[in-house]
Amino acid sequence: MRISVWVPYDERRLRRTLQFILRPQMKRIRIMGGVLIVLGLGVLALDPSTAVAYGIVVLGLLFVFAIGPITVARSVRMQSNVIRDGFHMTLDDEWATMSYPLAESRFRWAGLDRIIETPEVWYAMFGKMQALTIPKDPMTDEQRAEFAAFVDGLRPAWK
């Protein structure tokens, strides 16, 4: 297999990737927020004049609704300007290579933990927090089929 495509910078794809990576941590934070809301409402039911209970409910609401979007927005802002020019992606039987105008990243398939497919991309997971996004849009139908067959061949190695 040898697939080579140009991938333009797409902030929406970057945001979706960050949301995907942060999903397990955000789930825990939302659960903690729900617990805080229930706890705060319980205290308010006992004594509506308790100011701390209102603070607990507000903190719970922040945990449930605001922490995720704030974290993703900060993560997008913290990305290097190097990635904003797009990159050339080369996928072969041994490596996944992303070549930016000022930097290059290479990942050996042997280090792959798993690949998760969505309608828009494949997420090649190298550990729990390292995801390589392989977008489907820049690929031709033949390239997508070739990569999907390659992924199917990798599955026994990382299951």
Q: What is the pLDDT of residues 116-145, one digit of tens each?
A: 999 999 999 998 889 999 999 999 999 999
Whether 13 and 131 have beta carbons less than 8 Å apart is answered as: no
For 93-117, b where at least 16 C-beta lie within 10 A, e where not — what string? Answer: eeebbbebeeeeeebebeebeebee
Q: Say what the pLDDT of residue 156 is.
A: 67
- Side by side, which strands form the sheet with 131-135? 114-117, 121-125, 131-135
Q: Say what the pLDDT of residue 90 is.
A: 97
Which of 114, 121, 148, 126 has its CA nearest to residue 137? 121
Angle between helix 11-46 and helix 51-61 axes, rounded to 10 deg: 160
Q: Where do the H-state alpha helices sit in the chain? A: 11-46, 51-61, 67-78, 141-158
Contacts (Cβ under 8 Å, ≥6 apart) of 143: 3, 5
Q: Say what the pLDDT of residue 40 is.
A: 95
Residue ranges of domains in the chain: 2-7+85-158, 12-78
Low-confidence ranges of the chain (pLDDT < 70): 156-159
Is 2-7+85-158 assigned to CATH 2.30.29? yes
* Cα–Cα distance measured from residue 154 to residue 48, given in angstroms and rounded to the nearest whole number: 59
Question: Quick check: pTM over 0.85?
Answer: no
Q: Say what the pLDDT of residue 77 is.
A: 94
Q: Say what the pLDDT of residue 159 is.
A: 53
- The neighbour count for residue 75, using CB atoms within 10 Å, is 16
Q: Say what the pLDDT of residue 129 is.
A: 85
Whether 112 and 158 have beta carbons less than 8 Å apart is answered as: yes
